[in-house]
């Protein structure tokens, strides 16, 4: 395995863990479920997007996932909308 491939695999593992251990069980299920299903197919650019989504506080993500609050335009990336539309 090349060094670059090893680096992306290490990054995927780290992001999978972070997506699955959020602190709020609902977000563990939503983000972790998405990551488990799709992490292997995400390229470096999509991993960057996932990392940015993981940095958003749980309460904000949960309010968007439950449709209590509309996702702000500055956060409404295609990846985030895909994650929020998916049901665990």
Look at the pTM and tell me if it is higher than 0.85: yes
Task: State which H helix or E strand residue 32 sits in.
Answer: helix 25-38
pLDDT digit string, tens, across residues 29-74:
999 999 999 999 999 999 999 999 999 999 999 999 999 999 999 9
- The number of helix segments (H) and strand segments (E) in the chain equals 5, 0
Which residue ranges form the domains of the chain, and what is each CATH number? 3-85 (1.10.150.250)
Rounded Cα–Cα distance for residues 52 and 54 (Å): 5
């Amino acid at each position: 395995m090349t060094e670059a491939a090893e680096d992306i695999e290490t990054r995927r593992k780290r992001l999978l863990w972070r997506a699955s251990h959020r602190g709020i069980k609902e977000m563990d299920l939503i983000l972790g479920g998405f990551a488990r299903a799709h992490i292997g197919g995400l390229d470096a650019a999509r991993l960057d997007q996932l990392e940015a989504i993981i940095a958003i506080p749980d309460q904000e993500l949960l309010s968007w996932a439950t449709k209590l609050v509309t996702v702000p335009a500055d956060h409404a990336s295609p990846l985030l909308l895909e994650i929020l539309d998916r049901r665990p």
